[in-house]
Amino acid sequence: MVLNPVISKLVGKLVVLASASPRRQDILRNAGLRFEVVPSWFKETLDKALFKAPYEYAVETAKQKALEVARRMPFKHLKTPDMVIGADTIVSVDGLILEKPTDKNDAYRMLSSLSGKEHSVFTGVAIVLCHEKDDEVDYQLIDFYEETKVKFADLSEDMLWEYINSGEPMDKAGGYGIQALGGMLVEYVHGDFLNVVGFPLNHFCKQLGVIYNNLPSSDQKSSSIVLSHHNQVTTTVIPQVLTGDPSVSPLASPAHKVKRKSDQKDMHETSQQMTNSLSKHGESQGSEYMALQNITSRGRSVSVSENTEPKKGDLQRIITLMDGFRSSKALFTASKMGVFDLLQKSPGLNASQVAAEIKASVKGTRCLLEACVSLGLVTTCEKSHQKPVYKNSTLAAQFLGSDSPFSLHGYIMHTDNAVWPLFSHLENAVREGTNQHEQAFGKKAQDLFQDSYYDSQALKLRFMSAMHSIAKVTGKAVATAFDLSAYKTACDLGGCTGAIAYELTKVNPQMSVIVFDLAPVVEMREKFQPQHMDTERVSFMAGDFFKDDLPKADLYVLARILHDWSDEKVDILLKKIADNCNPGCGILLSEIFLNEDRSAPSRGLLQALSMSPGRQRSAQEYCLLLERHGFTVKDFKYTDNLLDAMLCLKI
Ligand code: SAM
């Protein structure tokens, strides 16, 4: 058996599977491999349109997952693994990539597209080998993929829904699990069955044989030519980056010498070096290193000739980007002029009636209404011989009225008044690297918050309404991201209107929360008090979290706080919290967590263009800051809402 001699070479080594899939774990465990499971934080959001073939997407995702864990392990676990295995399974049919269904309707859409047809299942696998040398780590990356063809029987509606209602499709690529009930849908399989389950064991063993026994690779399918053509692996030297000062962080061990003051900076340098180093390899070794360049191709210009037809959808993507500001401003203006509030109260008005109510020209109002129709915010119906009438779409009814259940009205007003002017000076901001407050508003910004609070009551209210609207929309996702039933007292630092605190007490009947915020904010709390709920377990305390003593609590909430501040300020705040905490106390951190490789469009990165003093960070970067103060990450979630969440414990 190919694997046995390889397995003996892995004894005593730290092998890590960067996947939470129980099926992958079973396959590898059954093969006798001993490994730890560290699920990757890499968000599976690579743009599929950028890949020529579906397997390239699977391989790239597998690489990103494995590399993310390989880079994170030394920080989080203080151990450099010997090998990290990443994998990603996708189903491809009719040129489309199917991943896990998001809900039952999505599962239905996927399964009905597979009915009666042959499709391909691709698993991309990445093996990252890490070698510690003095203060450095060598990373070696090998990747490959396996394709299996599967044919589904013709599926009746009843069969489809019975299968969907079994719940099995939900966490599986393509919406089926061949090893269980889904096996009944399959007419034939050509190729490796385990590949369809989630891991191509046979191909993996052959690759291990190549790595550890110097066996020649006969692998024609490997997308990483690194191994299959050369019988050698690519080596990238990356300086080891370590966690903080041992005097501050009880996590630091003598085995991991502390190198420097600013971990954050080094981490950026490290990933940059990794990028550069990998790119250099790519250039020196020619086309054989294409797979590596996929991750790190920033050093090369892309050449496109006039004869290259743009990919389907690419032109539309660019136009959507070019026109984005028009859409935003139409939304802001309709909100500001009260169009959505009016149509909520009086649906079915025509353009002249709307114009009269909002005190605007009929021509202008009609243009605005029609633009809103095209954006899906307003719907229209044209009765014969009558003028078209308008009403809110479901989207507008849900989010855009000032009293909508998930009203973003406050945030929209703030964005229009306080952010739009800054963005109209973006070129200057980029040239100078500074916030353009003075150019936009005619006076220097003193302090991000004090400015909003002391200028006028109206400004303060506008800022608080903006914070409140986002917190109300995202509060439930944050409050329910983790089991917090062990915490009896919480303190929401910079908790503003208390919106998240109220959500926390709703889902945690044992918990009481102190909202700690600056005095001018606390003064206005009553304006935002929820109507139909018991508010006794939420109290407010005025103070400055940089200067004043913090209330004692077993859970500290930091929602949208740390991104406003530099690393130095964050250190001051985290140290104060750490000094107040006993072992077992927690921090519930909620922010937009940047994608490690910045691959997907990110609200965080776009917000950073305001050039405020703070900085947007990835989950790993937050994790580093927290570990410096003796906190370890217990759990972490991309919520798919506006804010992500991380639960950390004091050790
Ligand atoms: N946590 C809230 C949320 O997610 O909706 C509000 C976030 S808002 C971006 C930042 C909050 O921190 C504001 O309410 C602000 O007043 C508060 N804040 C800023 N500096 C503060 C300080 N030095 N002490 C206490 N609170 C502060």
Please report which helix (H) or strand (E) contains residue 376, including its range: none
Ligand 1 atom having least distance to the Cα of 468: 5
Helix locations, 77-122, DSSP H:
104-114
Q: Which of 249, 292, 81, 271 is nearest to 624 (CA)?
A: 249
Rounded percentage of the chain residues whose pLDDT exceeds 90: 55
Residue 515 has pLDDT above 50, yes or no: yes
Contacts of 422 (CB under 8 A, 6+ apart): 429, 435, 436, 437, 440, 610
What's the rounded Cα separation, in Å, for the pair 296 and 422? 32
CATH hierarchy code of domain 460-650 = 3.40.50.150
> Separation of 518 CA from ligand 1 center, angstroms?
8
Mutate which of 467, 572, 644 for ligand 1 pocket (most atoms within 8 A of beta carbon): 467
Task: Name the active-site residue from 26, 47, 82, 88.
Answer: 88
Average pLDDT value for residue range 335-340? 98
Among protein residues, the one whose CA lies closest to atom 18 of ligand 1: 494
**CA-closest residue to ligand 1 atom 27:** 494
Q: Say whether 88 is catalytic.
A: yes
Helices (H), 508-595: 519-523, 567-580
Lowest mean pLDDT segment, chosen from 40-54, 57-71, 190-204, 635-649: 40-54
Is residue 510 pLDDT above 60, yes or no? yes
Residue 616 identity: Q
Q: Give the torsion through C-alpha atoms of 213, 216, 222, 225, to 10 deg.
A: 100
Nearest CA to ligand 1 atom 15: 494
The SS3 of residue 399 is: helix
Q: Using one digit for the tens of pLDDT, what is the confidence trace for 349-360?
A: 999 999 999 999
Residues of each domain in the chain carrying CATH 1.10.10.10? 314-399
Give residue-wise pLDDT tens across range 488-509: 999 999 999 999 999 999 999 9
Q: Which CATH class is domain 314-399?
A: mainly alpha
Whole-number pLDDT of residue 535: 82
Q: Where in the chain is the domain with CATH 3.40.50.150?
A: 460-650
238 vs 530, higher pLDDT: 530
Q: How confident is the model over 24-55, as pLDDT tens digits?
A: 999 998 888 888 888 898 877 788 888 889 99
pLDDT digits (tens, 9 = 90+) for 368-415: 999 999 999 999 987 667 789 999 999 999 999 999 989 999 999 999
| pLDDT for the residue numbered 301 | 64
Find out whether 195 and 221 touch, Cβ atoms under 8 Å. no
DSSP 263-290: HHHHHHHHHHHHHHHHHHHHHHHGGGGH
Which 3 state secondary structure label does DSSP give 635? Answer: strand
Ligand 1 atom closest to the Cα of residue 467 is 5
Smallest CA-to-CA distance from 411 within 519, 517, 336 is with: 336
Supply the DSSP symbol for 595: P
Given this structure, which CATH class describes domain 4-227? alpha beta
Phi-psi region of 280 (alpha: psi -120 to 50; beta: other; left: phi over 0): alpha
Name the residue with higher pLDDT: 463 or 279. Answer: 463
What pLDDT shows up at residue 236? 34
Beta carbons of 271 and 298 less than 8 angstroms apart? no
Specify the range with the lowest mean pLDDT, choosing from 17-21, 70-74, 275-279, 484-488: 275-279
**Longest Cα–Cα distance in the chain:** 84
| Mode of pairing for the β-strands spanning 555-559 and 538-542 | unpaired
Exposure pattern of 289-321 as b/e (b: 16+ CB <10 Å)? Answer: bbbbbbbbeeeeeeeeeeeeeeeeeeeeeeeee
Q: Is the pLDDT of residue 250 over 70?
A: no
pTM: 0.62
Cα of 493 vs centre of ligand 1, distance in Å, is 7
Note the residue count of the chain.
651
CATH 3.90.950.10 domain range(s) in the chain: 4-227
Best residue for ligand 1 mutational test, from 419, 560, 590 (most atoms within 8 Å of Cβ): 560
- pLDDT digit string, tens, across residues 406-437: 999 999 999 999 999 999 999 999 999 988 88
How sure is the predictor about 217, in pLDDT bands with cuts at 50, 70 and 90? low
Contact 457, 625 (CB under 8 A): no
Residues 199/87, Cβ–Cβ less than 8 Å: yes
Q: What is the pLDDT of residue 263?
A: 32
* DSSP-derived secondary structure letter, 594: B
* Dist. CA 537–CA 553, nearest whole Å: 14
Predicted confidence band of residue 291 (pLDDT cuts 50, 70, 90):
very low
The pLDDT value given to residue 215 = 59
Mean pLDDT over the full length of the chain:
82
Q: List residues bridging with 98 in a β-sheet.
A: 91
More confident residue, 449 or 125: 125
Please determine, for residue 617, whether its predicted confidence score (pLDDT) is greater than 80: yes
Residues with CB under 6 A from ligand 1: 449, 467, 471, 494-496, 499-500, 517-518, 521, 544-546, 559-561, 564
Q: Inform me whether the pLDDT recorded for 2 exceeds 80.
A: no
**Six-digit token pair at 74?**
């030394």
CA distances from 176 to 87, 108, 165, 536 (A): 18, 11, 12, 48
Question: Is residue 282 over pLDDT 60?
Answer: no
pLDDT tens digits along 125-135? 999 998 877 66
> In this structure, is the dihedral angle defined by the CA atoms of residues 88, 91, 92 and 96, taken in order, positive or negative?
negative
The CA-atom distances, in angstroms, between 331 and each of 347, 359, 360, 374, 409 are: 18, 18, 16, 11, 10
DSSP state of 531: S
